[in-house]
Amino acid sequence: MPPFDPIAIARGATRSAIVRTFGGPDPGASVRPARRSEPLDDDPGLFGPDSVTWQVHANLSMLVGGLRALFVQTLHPLAMAGVAQHSRYRTDPLGRLARTASFVGATTYGSTSEAEAAIAAIRRVHARVRGIAPDGRPYAADDPGLLAWVHHSEVESFLLAYQRIGPGLAAPDADRYVREMGLLGQRLGVVDPLTTASDVTTWIREHPERRVTSEARAAARFLVAPPLPLSLRAPYAIVLGAAISLLPLRPRLELGLVLPGPISGRFAWEPATRALVAALGWTLGTPPALRAARERVGA
């Protein structure tokens, strides 16, 4: 009989509760580690263990970055129209989050074939998403301009969250992260993705399509108070506060996002989120996708 380990039991129970809440297997469980009796596969996937992307995506600041990216993406009227008309984010927000996490896990830590399969699946979905925005303009999810908006808003948000909530990167490594993610962007259909962190920030800030619509405000209101299980509401509120604090002031106000309390941003929400991320990191341990990838390549 193995020795009684209350800490391990508590961590396992919490991990299982999180998995049950979000539905399906552990994120990245589809990335299967090699069995001890099988030879190691030297395929590092799209990035590999020496990449900055492996480092950034293993940190739970990605929770903040992912939520911030959703707010930023609402600021493009055509991108927002596609989400409003085709996404099930109102009826299945946790399912959408789980699918996004699975895609990030497969493309970051999966083998090349697993990453390519995930990318092909997304491109098939994009090919079906078409419509007319409320302003009368047609849109298509596989339009390179819309793909660039979604890609760069995610890259900026993941990087900013890692810089402010996670341990942070030196400027050369931040630019390297942008370049690495650009390779994924190209595979998704982005034309000439940006290659430096400062260029991404400027491009998002000065984008000619960037503005707030009524659909964007409705999506922001939903993101502020989605239908979550009671056990997730407190940690979500902390992550939400940090995500809002990472938004520029003007779109934050235009979206109606006001942080509660007399002190916000770097003085309250971000420190609280750093503590939450540290606690979750201890509870969950190494992300399953990263653990599987390390075993696969012998890293």
Q: How many residues would you count in the chain?
A: 299
Q: What is the structure's pLDDT at 258?
A: 80
Q: What is the structure's pLDDT at 286?
A: 77
Q: What is the structure's pLDDT at 269?
A: 75
pTM of the model: 0.85
Cα angle 186-147-127, degrees, rounded to a multiple of 5 = 95
Distance (Å, whole) CA 86 – CA 291: 34
Q: What is the structure's pLDDT at 16?
A: 52
Q: What is the structure's pLDDT at 177?
A: 98
Q: How many Cβ atoms sit within 10 Å of the Cβ of residue 162?
A: 23
Q: What is the structure's pLDDT at 35?
A: 45
Q: What is the structure's pLDDT at 260?
A: 55
Each residue of 176-202: pLDDT tens digit?
A: 999 999 999 999 999 999 999 999 999
User: Can you tell me whether residue 72 is helix, strand or coil?
Assistant: helix
Please report how many Cα atoms fall inside a 13 Å half-sphere around the Cα of residue 137, on the Cβ side.
Answer: 11
Residue 115 structure tokens: 């990453």
Residue pair 27/98 in contact by the 8 Å Cβ criterion = yes
Q: What is the structure's pLDDT at 22?
A: 44
Distance (Å, whole) CA 122 – CA 126: 6
Q: Which residues of the chain have pLDDT under 50?
A: 1-2, 4-7, 9-11, 13-14, 17-18, 20-40, 262-263
Please report how many Cα atoms fall inside a 13 Å half-sphere around the Cα of residue 132, on the Cβ side.
Answer: 3
